[in-house]
Amino acid sequence: MRVAILISGGGSNMVALARSMTGDHPARAVLVLSNTDGAGGLARAEDMGIETAVVDHRPYKGDRAAFEDALHNRIVASAPDLICLAGFMRVLTEGFVSRWQGRMLNIHPSLLPKYRGLHTHARAIEAGESEHGCTVHEVTPALDDGPILGQARVPVLPGDTPDTLAARVLEQEHRLYPAVLRRVASGDKTRIDL
Ligand code: GRF
């Protein structure tokens, strides 16, 4: 299975995924693509010998469809069987998602359906949650929705800040996403709970 990983930042989830695709793993990373050339994950991907690309969203300004066409065309050039969104911070419209539905995963730092959208850790603390976590799901046109393929839970501890909670969740993201990818790459979409 050929996997394209989309990033916007440091790419720690991309690194975890790429490192997991070795040996008898049925998948290989064939592309790491960012919407910005400032993404630290690009250098990390190059260090691992993975082809990289940048499709900058800024030249397209408000023309989201034109950006998504450029994005789609560059991804198609690498002929992936699956797209993994990993810290990719652009909202994708139905126009793009419909072309990849069933073949695109995302990791979101909350226990969906709770806390869709941004600032999930601060919102969980603010709400007095005793637990929090991350979710890997299939991407559908609705934001942070779609069939859940896996979740990992962490406690919210007294004195937690958004940063300390985010760090605890990120550790689990790096366990969950590779576990879900391996199962999906083996043709099994049974949910994983860590
Ligand atoms: C992570 O919290 C992830 O859940 C979110 O983006 C953050 C950064 O991810 N989608 P990464 O280090 O760039 O993989």
- Please tell me whether the interface predicted TM-score (ipTM) of this complex is above 0.95: no
3-state secondary structure 43-89: HHHHHCCCCEEECCCHHHCCCHHHHHHHHHHHHHHCCCCEEEECCCC
Mean pLDDT, to the nearest integer, of 142-151? Answer: 94
Report the candidate in 147, 133, 134, 65 with the shortest Cα–Cα distance to residue 105: 147
* Residue to probe by mutation, ligand 1, list 6, 7, 12, 13, most atoms within 8 Å of CB: 13
- Give the domain 2-107+135-148+176-188 fold: Rossmann fold (3.40.50)
Q: Tell me if the pTM is above 0.90.
A: yes
Nearest atom in ligand 1 to 16's CA: 14
pLDDT at 62: 85
Token readout for 92 is 């994708």
Question: Which is the closest atom of ligand 1 to the Cα of 108?
Answer: 4
- Average pLDDT in the 164-171 region? 98
| DSSP-derived 3-state class of residue 38 | coil
Q: Which atom of ligand 1 is nearest to the CA of 86?
A: 14
Domain edges within the chain: 2-107+135-148+176-188
Percent of the chain at pLDDT > 90 equals: 96
Is 106 a known ligand-binding residue? yes
Across the beta sheet with 52-54, the strand order is: 52-54, 28-34, 2-7, 82-85, 104-108, 131-138, 148-155, 192-193
Position 66 confidence tier, pLDDT thresholds 50, 70, 90: very high
Q: CB under 6 Å to ligand 1: residues?
A: 7, 9-14, 86-87, 107, 109, 134, 170, 173
| Active-site choice (57, 108, 137, 174) | 108
* Bond before 113 cis per omega within 30 degrees: yes
pLDDT tens digits for range 91-137: 999 999 999 999 999 999 999 999 999 999 999 999 999 999 999 99
Whole-angstrom CA distances from 26 to 22, 81, 138, 148 are 8, 12, 19, 21
